Amino acid sequence: MNAQLGPIPSGTTAPGAPTPLGRPSAGPDGLVWRRVHPVTPLVKGWKAIAVMAAVIAQQAGDNLARGLDLVRGSGVLVLLGGLLAVVLLVTGLSWLSWRMTRYAIDAQAVHLRQGVIFRQQRQARLDRLQAVDIVQPIVARIFGLAELKLEVAGGADSAIKLAFLKESEANGLRNELLARAAGVVTAERGVDAPVPAPPPERHIVSVPLSRLIGSIVLTPSMLVVVIVAIAVPAGMIIAGDPGAIVLLPATLFSVVGVLWKEFNQGFNFQAAIAPDGIRLRHGLTEARSQTLPPGRIQAVRLRRRLLWRWADWWRVDVNVAGYGQKQGATETVLLPVGTRDEALLALWLVLPDLGVPDARAFLDAALNGSGSGSAAGFTTCPRRSRWLSPLAWRVQGVALTDRAAILRRGRFSRVVEFVPFERTQSVGISQGPVARGFGVATLTLHSTHGAIRPVVDHLAAADVADLANQVVNRSRAARATAAPEQWLSRVRAAGLPVAGPVGAAGGGS
């Protein structure tokens, strides 16, 4: 154990003279181990204390009378003593875990050591970095702290979480990591090479509060809320039994919870583009700032919900390898709700080149059109499929451009999925007995784990065979010319920090 392991606040950490950059010199293993912010145990422990308080409050609520008796008697001292003991225990454990949590960064990787009893050392290669998030739960915001979350494509729970850092520190670290991952700061230049100033970012789109609320009002869940809120009291009056009122909060609770989550997470949504990736900022109670480096997005989905049809609002989701699929995941939302132009702009950020001559016409066909409309080149279901999908058979289809496969579904609501050929993992076709009777089959493109599962049913069997074959061939060609992992070397080679929107977004409607 050397002196480095003492409780030193981060930022001014280790022994040895700080370099002009304020960076301490390296330890024996060549790495500079740093600690997270010393307030961390408090911020983390607060959650446990809150949970405990909630449990106690619930218990007290359950038998209030007994609780009051307890407070009147000498029990109050026992209660407070127990509470204090638990608080101390939780704080002590948090402090221990803080002491054991250290991180270091070198030219190739981020290292994290943590754990008191079960020690863990994790190392993430920077060239495998899929996304960098700065997350600020509400308590952390009060302290001006933030969690830095580095996503790598290692399945569930593979992220490296540095919690908590000072907000400015987290921002600086994010810029540094992205610069290193992008190849701006190369290994040859060494660990202490100066990191260039954070690249300027350009604001692309934001979601006004009114539209966010509107979009939430116009969802099927909201309809459920309204129907339940009307039907239950009505039913009570008719049945003359007021007892049913207890069902109301329970029924509404889950639905409202979902809607609240959507509101909370979509609040103040801002998207911007910087050379190191797409920046997304959002959140009411928990502020989140995400950076998705270019080329890390595996698939994009534009979705118009049933009731958004008249407003022509769209939601844009993406698949990113590191994020995986959690229930109600927010990380994968590129735009919670936007006009068509905004949605297409968001799409353009991810897929600047669709590989079609007239992007606007093509996208209009994808977003609005039906049938196998001439220019767009969608292969749609044959007429016999109308027995299997009576509403959507004219709509559901696949178009293959030079760069991506575009899948279209939905007669009234609409889903359009874009899978770049260099990102398709594998291709599947399948057919059940009924489908065989109709001579149709299902085409599936396998993307990484996420909200988007590109699949189109009820296409003519011969078309499916042909499409699958083409996807396989075009994916092979795309893989052969795929861009390097260090993406900025490519951007700089092209000499463009940020290009302007092309036809997709600039065309006007």
Partner 1 sequence: MTSPGGAPGPFDPQGVVWQPVSTRLIRARLVSALPFVLVPAVLLALAAAASGVTGLWFVVAALALLTMWIVWVIPRQVHAYGYAERNDDLLIRRGVMFRSLVVVPYGRMQFVDVKAGPVDRWCDIAAVKLHTASVHTDAHIAGLAPAEAARLRDRLASRGEAQLAGL
Residues forming the site for partner 1 (CB under 8 A): 130, 153, 296, 298, 321, 422-423, 425-433, 436, 441, 444, 446-449, 453, 461-462, 464-465, 468-469, 472, 475-476, 479, 482, 485
* Cβ proximity to partner 1, 23 vs 453, nearer residue: 453
- Work out how close the CB of 442 gets to partner 1 at its nearest, in angstroms, rounded to a whole number: 9
* Cβ proximity to partner 1, 8 vs 455, nearer residue: 455
CA dihedral 349, 350, 353, 359 (to 10 degrees): -70
* Cβ proximity to partner 1, 156 vs 197, nearer residue: 156
If one counts every other C-beta atom within 10 angstroms of the C-beta of residue 171, the result is 16
Give the integer Cα–Cα distance in Å for 305 and 296. 26
Give the integer Cα–Cα distance in Å for 436 and 411. 24
* Cβ proximity to partner 1, 189 vs 436, nearer residue: 436
* Cβ proximity to partner 1, 205 vs 443, nearer residue: 443
Give all strands (DSSP E) within 107-258, no chain letters: 109-114, 120-125, 129-136, 145-152, 160-166, 202-206
- Work out how close the CB of 446 gets to partner 1 at its nearest, in angstroms, rounded to a whole number: 4
Closest CA to 396 of 404, 412, 358: 412
Strands 160-166 and 313-320: unpaired
- Work out how close the CB of 232 gets to partner 1 at its nearest, in angstroms, rounded to a whole number: 40
If one counts every other C-beta atom within 10 angstroms of the C-beta of residue 34, the result is 23
Give the integer Cα–Cα distance in Å for 141 and 287. 8
What is the strand order of the sheet 160-166 is part of?
Answer: 160-166, 145-152, 129-136, 287-292, 277-282, 270-274, 202-206
- Work out how close the CB of 105 gets to partner 1 at its nearest, in angstroms, rounded to a whole number: 22
- Work out how close the CB of 439 gets to partner 1 at its nearest, in angstroms, rounded to a whole number: 9
Give the integer Cα–Cα distance in Å for 69 and 86. 23
Half-sphere exposure of 293 (CA within 13 A, CB side): 32
- Work out how close the CB of 422 gets to partner 1 at its nearest, in angstroms, rounded to a whole number: 8
Kindly state the tokens that stand for 327.
């229930």
- Rg for the chain, CA atoms, rounded: 27
- Work out how close the CB of 373 gets to partner 1 at its nearest, in angstroms, rounded to a whole number: 24
Give the integer Cα–Cα distance in Å for 259 and 128. 34
* Cβ proximity to partner 1, 259 vs 452, nearer residue: 452
* Cβ proximity to partner 1, 161 vs 296, nearer residue: 296
* Cβ proximity to partner 1, 39 vs 455, nearer residue: 455
- 453 by Cβ neighbours in 10 Å (0-12 / 13-18 / 19+) ranks as middle
* Cβ proximity to partner 1, 212 vs 400, nearer residue: 400
- Work out how close the CB of 282 gets to partner 1 at its nearest, in angstroms, rounded to a whole number: 25
Give the integer Cα–Cα distance in Å for 457 and 442. 4
- Work out how close the CB of 438 gets to partner 1 at its nearest, in angstroms, rounded to a whole number: 13
